[in-house]
C-alpha cells in the first residue's frame, strides 16, 4: 500500500509530450513558431504523432506519451 501511495502521491502531474492543443501548442522557447528550436520541436511532435497513428491506427492515443521520463 505504501508503494502505491508513494508512486502516485509524490510524482509530478502528468503532462503529455504532445499537448491537447496540438503540436504547435505549449512551445518551450520564446519566439513562437518562428524560433528554429520550436520548429524542430514541432517537427518531432509531428513525427511522433504520425508514428503513433501508423502503429495504433484504430485508436491512436497521442497524449499517452509523457513529457518527462519519471511517469
The answer to whether position 17 is within a domain reads: yes
The answer to whether position 30 is within a domain reads: yes
pLDDT tens per residue across all 71 residues of the chain:
788 777 777 777 778 888 888 899 999 999 999 999 999 999 999 998 898 888 877 776 777 766 666 54
The answer to whether position 28 is within a domain reads: yes
The answer to whether position 22 is within a domain reads: yes
Provide the number of structural domains found in the chain: 1
**Cut 0.85: pTM above it:** no
Could you tell me the residue range of the domain that residue 54 belongs to? Answer: 2-64
How many CB atoms neighbour CB 54 within 10 A? 9
User: CA-to-CA distance for 46 and 27, rounded, in angstroms?
Assistant: 13
Amino acid at each position: 500500500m505504501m508503494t502505491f501511495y508513494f508512486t502516485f502521491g509524490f510524482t509530478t502531474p502528468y503532462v503529455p509530450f504532445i499537448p491537447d492543443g496540438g503540436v504547435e501548442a505549449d512551445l518551450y522557447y520564446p519566439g513562437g513558431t518562428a524560433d528554429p528550436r520550436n520548429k524542430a520541436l514541432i517537427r518531432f511532435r509531428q513525427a511522433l504523432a504520425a508514428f503513433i497513428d501508423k502503429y495504433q491506427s484504430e485508436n491512436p492515443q497521442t497524449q499517452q506519451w509523457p513529457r518527462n521520463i519519471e511517469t
